Copies of this chain bind each other. A is one copy, B any other.
């Protein structure tokens, strides 16, 4: 499903241990290169189209108006906020969530480096969900009118924007499938496999990960109560499928997880 992204970060530990992160490339460079520049960004392959000419690349650098740092727990945008920009995540993990009028809410996704958030705001010029940083984070702010302008001129960018939105639609189909037809164990197994796969695509381990979200947030995303999440983790531990130390997870048996998600095919 997810494109096979070959990404080698210069500091592959940053998302697992961001607090211990070395200075980023931009921070280390000379003043003039402090200018925001997609063409230099080590996440380029994740959020920008491939195969651009140098001219096109230079123009795309103008897409990012500024970078913004978001402290853990703070919202990048909230339901009702005026929509102006899309955001490309540079570091950190976000959750997005929607709410009913009577206060229940639902996490609709967890987003990490290279992913784009804010697409929900385009329809009505207002955001319809909250995006909250689950750890200190940094995003590139891309004013949407600039995106539209530039994508009229750079075909690859235009198509890239369409693909990003389509990918989000397809991702949500997957979540609907999960919420509509899977049982607790299957949901959590699918969740873990998805997370670890995305982290792996970013240069991290295939078997170890640190959750950036609470059991309650996982539960909200997966449509189950936090107690059920906890119990299901415990069951996986009993079965010897994973090791759980609070938020640190080590997957001991990937195949077992896959079998849980897809009983028929894998058995």
Q: What is A's interface to B at a CB cutoff of 8 Å?
A: 98-106, 108, 119-123, 128-129, 148, 151-153, 155, 158-159, 161-163, 165-170, 172-177, 179-181, 220-223, 261-265
Contact = CB atoms under 8 A, between A and B. Distances in A.
A166 B121 contact: yes
B174 A172 contact: no
Nearest to A129: B173
A172 B123 CA distance: 13
A265 B99 CA distance: 13
A264 B223 contact: no
Count identical subunits in the complex: 2
Given A119-B166, A162-B165, 20 more contacts: A99-B177, A100-B262, A101-B264, A104-B181, A106-B173, A106-B177, A106-B181, A120-B166, A121-B166, A122-B166, A123-B166, A129-B173, A148-B159, A152-B152, A165-B165, A168-B169, A172-B172, A175-B176, A179-B180, A180-B222
What 4 A-B pairs come out closest when comparing CB atoms? A122-B166, A102-B264, A180-B223, A179-B179
A154 to B, nearest CB: 10
Nearest to A148: B158
A46 to B, nearest CB: 14
